[in-house]
Chain A
Amino acid sequence: GENVEQHPSTLSVQEGDSAVIKCTYSDSASNYFPWYKQELGKRPQLIIDIRSNVGEKKDQRIAVTLNKTAKHFSLHITETQPEDSAVYFCAARNNQGGKLIFGQGTELSVKP
């Protein structure tokens, strides 16, 4: 069945450094790839998403890249700040608007 693999499971960086989280998906029909941030005790919230007709999207310090051939997409956070510390989830959904499948999550810790 459909699957999304996310790495690493934990990531620790110094404030100001960049952080990269990578995901791969199995369903070639997937065409929508959102990224969610979940702070401790709170619900996941969308931070950026990308559709399959786009290779890269940027929003201030956050960017996402998509390689459809390799079925691979990544989240890049530049100039990290302590408030970026949270769990980040990638996800994929197919073009039938069906299942929204999440990766296992990455716990990002930004040390001041």
Chain B
Amino acid sequence: EVQLVESGGGLVQPGGSLRLACAASAFTFNIYEMSWVRQAPGKGLEWLSYISSSGDTIYYADSLKGRFTISRDNAKNSLYLQMNNLRAEDTAVYYCARIGCTSTSCFDYWGQGTLVTVSS
């Protein structure tokens, strides 16, 4: 069964950095595009970033303003999100999601999420 397991969340002070990881299993990771999506407490889903299967093509939501960096290591079946200069409004559960479906336009599998809390 396809599994995505996020890690790396926790409590961080404003201005700090955190690196999230997403370990993938039970599918051929290196042929799938991936994304990060977050959900602030009590709020809706927010798409953050996309990375192609090879890692050559990357897109970000405008709201991130260059503070976040997505990457992947296909040899390790892992997806990453480096988050810098964190702000209180970045507090959220962060999900990694596989981009699937016939048109590679939807998120067909999601991890359980990892909570990031930005607070002093």
Is B a genuine binding partner of A? no
Interface residues of A (CB under 8 A from B): none
